[in-house]
Amino acid sequence: MNRSERILMGNEAIGRGLVENDCRIAASYPGTPASEILASVADFAAETGASIHTEWSVNEKAAYEVALAASYTGKRAAVSMKQVGLNVAADPVTRSTYLGTKGGLVLIVADDPGPHSSQTEQDSRLFALFAKLPVLDPSSPREAKDMTGEAFRLSEKYELPVMLRPTTRVCHARQNVACGDPERKDVRSRFERNIPRWVATPAFLPELHRRLNEKLDRIAEEEAFYPRLVSRGGEESRRAVAASGVVFAHAAEILENGGFSGKTDLYQVRLPYPLNRKFIGDLRKRYQEVLVLEETDGVIEMQIGSDFVEGRNTGHVPRLGELTPEIVEKILREFLGVPGEAPSAGQGKGKRPSLCPGCGHRAAFFAIRETFPKGIFPSDIGCYTLGMNFGAVDTCHCMGACISQGAGFYHAFAQDGPGFPSIVVTIGDSTFFHAGIPPLINAVSQGARFIVVILDNGTTAMTGHQPTPALGIRSDGSRGAAVPIPELVRAAGVRFLRECDPYDVERMEGILKEADRYVRSAEGGVAVVIAKHPCIVGREARKGQPAYRMSVTEECIGCKACIEDFECGALVFDPDADRVRIDGTLCIGCAVCVHACPVGAITAEGEDR
Amino acid sequence: MKQQIVISGIGGQGVLFATRVIAEAAMEEGLPVLTSETHGMAMRGGTVISHVKAGPFQSPLIRPGQADVGLFLHGGNLELHRPFIREGGSLFVNRPGPAADGGIDAAKLAADFGHPVIANLVLIGHAVGRGALFCGADTLRAVLRRISPPEQLEINRKGFEIGFGFEG
């Protein structure tokens, strides 16, 4: 066993690469599959004694701007996000290629073909092409780590931000990876005034754009990024496969096997944009048939030309979705004329995820739905999207959209007369900070009338419990300044604000009714209710609350209302007894389910901490 | 040595820890290793799967019909994930009832010991006891000593030994 090697997740390997390559400022907003990158930077910085400012920024746009300005001072900086986070950061990113950088700036964007955990499966390499941003596409954790250094060097050589684009299967793969000591350059911050560049009013932009195009032309001629010929299909092979990212790894492994070996040349494209120009010419000269394998759109294919290659755009490769190894095998069999069939994956959907037993969100959703059986429930992105499982979430779009959707629903219905429906929006605390504040100001100022419930569990739970600005805790565990949610809500002009613990279902229902009366009153507007209960995944939170001994009595009529309307994993239907029982290994004794039984058969006893 | 292992379960059962234990065991044996894991919303009680590939591989994913070993922490996933297991591959399933055909009530064995969360290590111990994994018990014991938090070490070790010594 090589002692310098460790088993690292792709995201940890990227974090390690940033620390080893003298990154001094790293910012991020959490989102699957990118969440572990920033935490790894903080951990490896602590371990190696490297001096790095790490931060969980309020959103991806802020994260990018922080890292960009740090790069202006000559220091290396990095920012990481998931692919839809790039949509949020799109504004500063697109302009930054024109203006360029000083210290190396690496933008890590984790794509999610499938998608497994995202609202789109957009290809960030296509965004890189749009923004004129060079992009590296790693095929493994080890390569992702190596590419962080390459990205910094490329960025500094051309004074241009560089994108590193791993996908879920790289981010959440683990591999034995060699780790070295951090390189330390001891760069001191320096900022030189340069109005044509850092202010860059429109008059300066044509020149900046011309220089940007020139940089991209030169990068497309870099020999280091001529795709690697990894295996050969014989001396005179007239067939080639060009692949990038983890799809390259799938293809390379399949082509090693008996029936496939020696059938084609295989190239790995490490820099999909700008694609090496000589490579494009050589492909057209040397080969009769070329197959491109890439995720998720035909970015390499588009640059070579779909008149010549087979790929996503020509329909030889499925036009959507993840290219799993069995799909790659099928495509390669067809392309190379190798007989046989790729076995297919199992059918069925498996078990759907559900809010944890004892989750405060479930209690809040239950109170909302009981109070407004005919309500409209816009919601948002986080664990609480799972409220859809029991009819308490009607929409989910993108971070922060729910509040604007609440306003949009109100204005549309209000035109039809005074009897508009009760609209109850649910948004998590971290999502509220990320993108909820401008829409709240907008809704208030435009006179919308609806209820916003901020589901405040004191953390960013879905992505692994990153702190929110309300906590006053920074990414390395040190103290920062806390930004309380109620003050923000009041400052947004909201005149009805109540806080409650959703475990107290009756009290929350009372507050919701009061909020509805306010919304419909003469001087009414937007009402905000903060439903506050700590995420019970944290052990400390669970220690701080009573745990009741729960049981289901013989009164249970087996109607399953609790299972369907409340959906707690600890409530299980026992077909032999024809009634519900409590799964003691899952139940945390929150006792909220007492409210979910129409015949009062669920009972709570004692208080057993 | 090359071995491909699928670990299937539902979020919260410790599939990720089981994946890490087996990956570290590969490294302990000097084998290159690649794994693939499920993160995100599925971890809230939904179906999750990990792939572990010990030996010279390039792709982190196992193709259907190629896995040598299947460790199922949730029997309900069999329909979905059994197609990963090759013909003649070995299958170990956490399921209630008497042990048969690779079945073991790991959840009950763990709960009887007072720590339901270690069903994952009971299942791994059982697979090692049957000689199905690429490594022996001493490698696994060394890994548990190395990666367990101090307060959890004795519990993890015992979980592994319960499965390792299980005869059913």
pLDDT tens track, chain B, 168 positions: 999 999 999 988 999 999 999 999 999 999 999 999 988 888 888 999 999 999 999 999 999 999 999 999 999 999 999 999 999 999 999 998 777 778 999 999 999 999 988 999 999 999 999 999 999 999 999 999 999 999 999 999 999 999 999 987
Element (H, E) at A499: strand A496-500
Chain-centre distance of CA A476, in angstroms?
21
From the candidates B44, B108, B112, which should be mutated to test the interface with A, based on the most A CB atoms within 10 A? B44
What CATH number should be reported for the domain whose range is A360-535?
A: 3.40.50.970
Show the tokens assigned to B160.
């592994």
The answer on pLDDT for A144 being more than 90 is yes
* Helical residues (DSSP H) of A6-89, grouped into ranges: 10-20, 36-48, 60-72, 83-88
Give how far B118 is from chain A: nearest CA, Å: 12
The pLDDT confidence band at residue A1, using thresholds 50, 70 and 90, is very low
The answer on pLDDT for A609 being more than 70 is no
Considering only the beta carbons, identify the residue of A172, A175, A386 that sits closest to B39.
A172
Residue A348 confidence (pLDDT) = 76
Q: Do A326 and B44 touch (CB under 8 A)?
A: no
Considering only the beta carbons, identify the residue of B30, B61, B116 that sits closest to A585.
B116
Could you report the per-residue pLDDT of A4-48, keeping only the tens digit for each?
899 999 999 999 999 999 999 999 999 999 999 999 999 999 999
Could you report the per-residue pLDDT of A483-505, keeping only the tens digit for each?
999 999 999 999 999 999 999 99
**Any idea which architecture A549-605 has in CATH?**
2-Layer Sandwich (3.30)
Within chain A, all domains assigned CATH 3.40.50.920 are found at 225-336
Q: What is the DSSP letter of A479?
A: B
* Average pLDDT score, chain A: 95
Considering only the beta carbons, identify the residue of A5, A345, A349 that sits closest to B27.
A5
Residue range A121-130: average pLDDT? Answer: 98
Residue A608 confidence (pLDDT) = 52
Single out the residue of B144, B128, B125 nearest to residue B136, CA to CA. B128
Within chain A, all domains assigned CATH 3.40.50.970 are found at 5-219, 360-535
- DSSP per-residue letters across A505-551: HHHHHHHHHHHHHHHHSTT---EEEEEE---TTSHHHHHTS---EEE
Q: Is the pTM of this model over 0.90?
A: yes
Q: Three-state SS for B86? A: strand
Element (H, E) at A369: helix A360-371
Q: Give the whole-number percent of chain B exceeding pLDDT 90.
A: 86
The answer on pLDDT for A3 being more than 70 is no
Protein fold of A225-336: Rossmann fold (3.40.50)
Could you report the per-residue pLDDT of B135-153, keeping only the tens digit for each?
999 999 999 999 999 999 9
Chain-centre distance of CA A314, in angstroms?
30
Considering only the beta carbons, identify the residue of B28, B34, B47 that sits closest to A173.
B34
Give how far A346 is from chain B: nearest CA, Å: 4
Q: What's the per-residue H, E or C state across B43-109?
A: HCCCEEEEEEEECCCCCCCCCCCCEEEEEECCHHHHHHHHHHEEEEEEEEEECCCCCCCCEECHHHH
Domains present along chain B, CATH in parentheses = 3-164 (3.40.920.10)
Q: Do B62 and A7 touch (CB under 8 A)?
A: no
Residue range A347-368: average pLDDT? Answer: 93
Q: Three-state SS for A211? A: helix
Residue A2 confidence (pLDDT) = 52
Whole-angstrom distance, CA of residue A137 vs CA of residue A225: 11
**Any idea which architecture A5-219 has in CATH?**
3-Layer(aba) Sandwich (3.40)
Q: Which residues in chain B touch residue A140, judged by CB atoms under 8 angstroms apart?
A: 34, 58, 60
The answer on pLDDT for A258 being more than 80 is no
Tell me what ipTM this predicted complex has.
Answer: 0.95
Whole-angstrom distance, CA of residue A372 vs CA of residue A391: 11
- Amino acid identity, residue A445? S
Show the tokens assigned to A555.
């009164």
Q: Three-state SS for A331? A: helix
Q: Which residues in chain B touch residue A33, judged by CB atoms under 8 angstroms apart?
A: 39-40
